[in-house]
Amino acid sequence: MTDPSDTRDKAPRRFSPLWTYLTGVVVSGFAALLAAEFQLGLHELATLARTPLFWVLTALVVLGELRPIVVSTSRLASGTATSALFTFAVLLYHGLSVAVLIHTLALVVSGLFRRRSWHRTLFNVAQVTLASTASAVVLGAFGHHPHPDQPWVPEGGDIAVVALAAVAYFLMRGVLVCAAVALHERRSLLRVLRATIGHQSLVYTALLGLAPLVVVVMSRSPALVPLFVAPLAAMYFTASLSMRRDHQAMHDGLTSLPNRKLLILRTEEALAEARDDERVGLLLLDLDRFKEVNDTLGHPVGDRLLQIVAHRLTHSVRPGDVVARLGGDEFAVLLPTVRDAAAAREVAARLRVALTEPVRLEGMTFDVDASVGIALYPDHAPDFELLLQRSDVAMYFAKEGRTGVEVYIAEKDRNSPERLNLLGDLRRAIGGDDLQLHYQPKVELATGAVEGVEALLRWWHPDRGPVSPDDFIPLAEQSYLMRQITQHVIDAALEQAALWWHSGIEVPVSINVSARDLLDSALPDLLEAGLDRLRLPPGAIQLEVTERILMTDQAYTADSVHALVELGIPLALDDFGTGYSSLVRLQRLQVREVKIDGSFVQRLGKSVDDERIVRSIVDLVRSLGLRSVAEGVETEEVAQRLREMGCDAGQGWRFAEPMPAAEATVWLRERLNEASFGRCPSAEVTTL
């Protein structure tokens, strides 16, 4: 049996229930130890000390304490010391006094070697002494009182007596240790017994069942006793291999924390054991800005940071709580018992405080922070999957609101069954005819020449009809589908651009991508392969990204951005004016064009402030040597004001509304026949 403090080496708080229990066991155990040793005279002890068998047995017991047989369960990994075999054999042969004396010496040596705290060593000595005493009482009840002067060798008819003594030994140790674990982890004794006693009983049956054979060998040829090390070694290595396989299957390779599979098992156990007045909490924790560490200093430094985070989390939770790594920079903390949401918040706050201590790696200091989402059983979900989903939703609330910690609130959850069904329909629509690109021209304000077209992603649902991008784009961004949609848009835009270019309509196509897409190292390769396959020059496309990219320092250092620039693919900045960008940040990003958000453009002539904003943006963009494009131009009055300001181009219903590819082709040919296109720097494809 393992002692109760494997996960905590700190002494329990004085006068706490655990401290009181350990004190009672230690006092009782040492009283039994003194009583047993009082019956062993100095003459008998000196005689034993002169026999090689005594020291061989002592060495075997010490070795057994140092190399326990580890048994893995879904609840915990516990070690069963092989010393129990030889201690029980000595108990049968020489009696209680010699057995507890040898085992006490072994536990003291093991405690010193492993640097265990004093309270753990004292408890182990006490519980082994009490277990041996219970076994000796059973033997005495059947008239067997082994003593160094009168050794006892069991016969065939004594099997039942030996079995009862072994059961008494096992049950006493099991109950004493499990009670300590239950107090330490604040769990019921029955729960701990159910989780551990079955697996431990199998090992103890094998060990204690060999004890009578050891006694027979001791009585006939003591020199053969060390041969029992061979089967014990086989058991030890077999259990170690099994434990290693179980550990690899159930734990994260980088941090050695439980993985998702083990977290599911622990959560299901906690849900099954939860009482009516108890709650089970699941906390989902995601590190903020961790990707910047990986991108700036590399994955080895990021891995070391994750190991430090894992260490801090495991040393900040309560006994019995489970810290798991789900992948990347995402961790989960299971609270098998928690009073209410306020108590769960306290745990989450403690975890965040533990992470805020600066970390120094590679000569740099990092400030680590995290967002935590909390979901409770049965308040928010009845099973693990829903608990995880809703703690994930709460975690995103914490990220969006920058509050650090949030508890799941059903009223704020946008993931309704209808939205989940819509997400499934969207997944099936990708790559089919339901998702199409519609095109809207972009016109040079000074000459009226068409510079290109903007294409808008449209979804025609077979049952719902047209679905607004405002409904499905945010849904895709919160799921795994956004990358697939981006690739679908890129493929469709390149195909259409190739049709236009190879038929004489040389319209460069710009593709709207998210900040995540722009920083994806696979994006340059994807675009280069598409351009080569369709025989298009790099200038045939343009990438647009929203102004929020300026707030991410990675945009200025990412290899993907440099690769796109080297490839010759121009960048444009979309929705400019809606964020908090600075002139310095705008200069650092290699863009050729800035698009003014339509919310400002549409209020020209109505709002003096908006007119000042648009004029300032146009002047700023011109001073940087870039082109300005106004979105949402719906009237000639607005177009004229933009011309007066010096804005280069505009797009909106004033010039043309979005059209399917076939209609857009006809429209472009008509305009091409009417006038020369002149320089056509850009046309845009966007998912918005």
Cis ω for the linkage preceding 231 (within 30 of 0): no
From residue 607, give the alpha-carbon distance in Å to each of 77, 612, 614, 616, 654.
69, 9, 11, 14, 20
pLDDT interval class at 18 (50, 70, 90): confident
Q: Which of 4-8, 326-330, 345-349, 506-510 has the lowest mean pLDDT?
A: 4-8
- The confidence band for 334, taking pLDDT boundaries of 50, 70 and 90, is very high
The CA-atom distances, in angstroms, between 533 and each of 376, 431, 483 are 53, 19, 21
Residue 161 pLDDT > 90, yes or no? yes
Separation between Cα atoms, residue 578 and residue 235, nearest integer Å: 68
CATH number of 260-412: 3.30.70.270
> Residue 141: which pLDDT band, with cuts at 50, 70 and 90?
very high
Helix H, strand E, coil C: the string for 308-331 is HHHHHHHCCCCCCCEEEEEECCEE
- 86-124 pLDDT, tens digit per residue, is 899 999 999 999 999 999 998 898 888 888 888 888 999
Q: Given this model, what pLDDT does residue 687 score? A: 43
| Of 276-280, 520-524, 683-687, minimum mean pLDDT range | 683-687
Left (φ > 0), alpha (ψ -120 to 50) or beta: where does 209 sit?
A: alpha
- Higher-confidence position of 481 and 578: 481
Mean of the pLDDT values across residues 301-316?
Answer: 88
Name the DSSP letter for residue 663: H
Q: Record the tokens describing residue 182, joined without a space.
A: 């239950």
Tell me the CA distances in angstroms from 435 to 66, 74, 221, 456, 467, one per residue in order.
Answer: 66, 46, 85, 10, 10
Residue 201, pLDDT score = 80
The pLDDT assigned to 273 comes to 81
What does the pLDDT read at residue 5? 39
Q: Which of 241-250, 495-504, 606-615, 650-659 has the lowest mean pLDDT?
A: 241-250
Q: Tell which wins on pLDDT, 427 or 556.
A: 427
* Mean pLDDT for the stretch of residues 199-216: 83
pLDDT grade for 79, boundaries at 50, 70 and 90:
low
Are the C-beta atoms of 422 and 475 separated by less than 8 Å? yes
Lowest-pLDDT choice from 97-101, 239-243, 563-567, 656-660 = 239-243
Confidence of residue 417 (pLDDT cuts 50, 70, 90): low
pLDDT at residue 539, as a whole number: 85
Q: Which residue has the higher pLDDT, 545 or 177?
A: 177
CB-neighbour burial class of residue 423 (10 A; exposed 0-12, middle 13-18, buried 19+): middle
| Residue-level pLDDT at 550 | 55
pLDDT value of position 681: 42
Mean pLDDT for 483-502 is 89
Q: What confidence score (pLDDT) does residue 91 get?
A: 92
End-to-end Cα, the chain, rounded Å: 62
Q: What was the pLDDT predicted at 323?
A: 93
Q: What pLDDT, on a 0 to 100 scale, did the predictor assign at position 331?
A: 93
Q: CA–CA separation, 123 vs 131, rounded Å? A: 12
Looking at residue 584, what is its pLDDT?
A: 53
Q: Residues, the chain, total?
A: 688
CATH class of 418-686: alpha beta
Tell the CATH topology of 17-250: Arp2/3 complex 21 kDa subunit ARPC3 (1.10.1760)
So what's the pLDDT on residue 75?
42
Provide the pairing of β-strand 571-576 with 541-546.
parallel
pLDDT at 181 over 70: yes
| 371-380 pLDDT tens trace | 899 999 988 8
Does residue 283 or residue 592 have the better pLDDT? Answer: 283
How high does pLDDT run on average in the chain?
82
Across residues 401-414, what is the average pLDDT?
Answer: 80
More confident residue, 291 or 261: 261
* Phi, psi (rounded to 5 degrees) for 179: -65, -40
**Percent of the chain residues past pLDDT 70, beyond the cut:** 87
Under 8 Å CB-to-CB from 358, ≥6 apart: which residues? 365, 366, 367, 368
Given a cut of 70, whether residue 242 has pLDDT beyond it is no
Determine the pLDDT at residue 76.
40
As a whole number of Å, the CA-based R_g of the chain is: 37
pLDDT in tens, 519-542: 777 888 889 999 999 999 988 888
Q: What is the mean pLDDT of residues 358-385?
A: 83
List, in sequence order, every residue forming a beta bridge with 325; answer none if it has no partner: 331
Q: Note the pLDDT of residue 548.
A: 61
More confident residue, 599 or 70: 599
**Residue 578, pLDDT above cutoff 60:** no
Cα gap 482→661, rounded to integer Å? 23
Across the range 543-563, mean pLDDT stands at 67
Question: pLDDT by residue (tens digit) across 651-661?
Answer: 999 898 889 99
What was the pLDDT predicted at 644? 92
What are the structural domain ranges in the chain?
17-250, 260-412, 418-686
Angle formed by the axes of helices 189-220 and 83-94, nearest 10°: 60
Q: What is the percent of the chain with per-residue pLDDT over 90, rounded to a whole number?
A: 22
At 580, the pLDDT band (50, 70, 90 cuts) reads very low
Residues 241-263, mean pLDDT to the nearest whole number? 82
Tokens of 665: 């082709």
Listed in sequence order, the DSSP H helices in 39-158 are: 42-49, 52-66, 83-94, 96-114, 118-141
Are 373 and 406 in contact, with CB atoms under 8 Å apart? yes
